[in-house]
Structure 1
Amino acid sequence: MTFPEIADLLTIQFGDLQINTQNLQPFLIVPTERLVAVCQFLRDDERLFFDLLACVTGIDNGLDANTMEVVYNVTSIPYEHNLMLKVVVPRNAGGNRLPSVPSVAHIWRTADWHEREAFDLVGIQFENHPDLRRILLPADWVGHPLRVDYQEEEQYHGIKTK
Structure 2
Amino acid sequence: MLLVVSMHWNAAIAAEAIVGRASVIDGDTIEVRGERIRLHGVDAPESWQTCEDGDGGTYRCGKAAAMALDQFLAASRPTRCEFVERDRYGRFVGICFRADGREVNRWLVESGNAVDWARYSGGRYAAAQATAQSKGVGLWQGEFQLPCEARAEHAGREPSC
Give the TM-score, by structure 1 length.
0.29
Whichever structure has more helix as a proportion of its residues is 2
Report 1 or 2 for greater relative contact order, CA contacts < 8 Å, sequence distance ≥ 6. 2
